[in-house]
Amino acid sequence: MIKKNNFPKEVQSDNREECYACRRVKKNCMCGSIKPFSTRIRFVILMHSEEAHKQKTGTARLAKMCLTNAELIVGSDFANNERVNSLLRDPSYSPFVLYPGPEAVNFKTLGKDPFPEGKTLLVFVIDGTWRGARSLLNRSPNIRALPRLSFSRGYISQFKIKKQPMAHCVSTIEAIYYLCKEAGEAGYEKLDAQAEALMAPFKKLVETQLHYQKVKGRRREDSGR
């Protein structure tokens, strides 16, 4: 077991060292770009199991590493997930799901202190393809029943290595970043420039993948095995 920046590493079956935390090959490890910070919002990232097993260029794990009070749970059906349901039952939280829709609210309409005193905003963030996210919601009525939280304005994803299915779609780490920014604008969060720490590893990820796409015959960093 090798450690760097306190993140464990493991040797994979193909004899190439890979970071267990960010799931990148050693030479492209993102951990050095991570500067963890705390938010007033409690984020819980629900990562679709297909995303967890197949995707190495996803951003959910990077977001989790950046947020000291965040949590990441993997699955495709959270209806009977004990951890999720225990959070939903916790009276100290005001739970929402970060998801667009005509009934979704945002911090511009909610204001600075929209929740009862003593309540912490708990935001579930769905990580997966657009189709996977809808499937996860359909299979998880406990999450689907939550009030929806979204943005007060539209954003264009900077995830240039992937084609977004719709104009308003952004990556997981971008969604959390924009929500933090709008929460700051509303006075709910006081992060100053700390939220920019979310974008540093994201930008590094994109730049690395674009570099490998320019190399003839190599479409991604872990090709050429």
Mean pLDDT over each residue of the chain, to the nearest integer:
79
Query: Is residue 221 within 8 Å of residue 208, measured between CB atoms?
Result: yes
Per residue, what are the HEC states of 119-164?
CEEEEEEEECCHHHHHHHHHHCHHHHCCCEECCCCCCCCCCCCCCC
Q: Is the pLDDT assigned to residue 223 strictly greater than 60?
A: no
Q: Using alpha carbons, list the distances in angstroms from residue 110 to 97, 105, 117, 121, 191.
A: 15, 7, 15, 12, 18
d(CA 159, CA 153): 18
Which residues sit opposite 17 in a β-bridge?
Answer: 11
The arithmetic mean of pLDDT across residues 24-39, rounded, is: 76
Q: What is the DSSP letter of 218?
A: -
In Å, how far from its chain's centre is CA 10? 23
Helix, strand or coil, per DSSP, at residue 61: helix
Confidence of residue 24 (pLDDT cuts 50, 70, 90): low
How do residues 185-198 score in pLDDT, each as one tens digit? Answer: 998 999 988 888 89
Q: Higher-confidence residue: 196 or 214?
A: 196
Q: Is the pLDDT assigned to residue 41 strictly greater than 80?
A: yes
Q: Are β-strands 7-11 and 17-19 bridged in parallel, bridged antiparallel, or unpaired? A: antiparallel
Q: How many residues does the chain have?
A: 225
How do residues 108-163 score in pLDDT, each as one tens digit? Answer: 888 666 777 789 999 999 998 888 889 999 999 999 999 999 999 888 766 645 55
Q: What is the CA radius of gyration of the chain?
A: 18
One-letter amino acid at 83 equals: R
CA dihedral sign of residues 29, 73, 150, 93: negative
Q: Using alpha carbons, list the distances in angstroms from residue 138 to 89, 135, 183.
A: 20, 5, 28
pLDDT recorded at residue 114: 73
d(CA 162, CA 111): 34
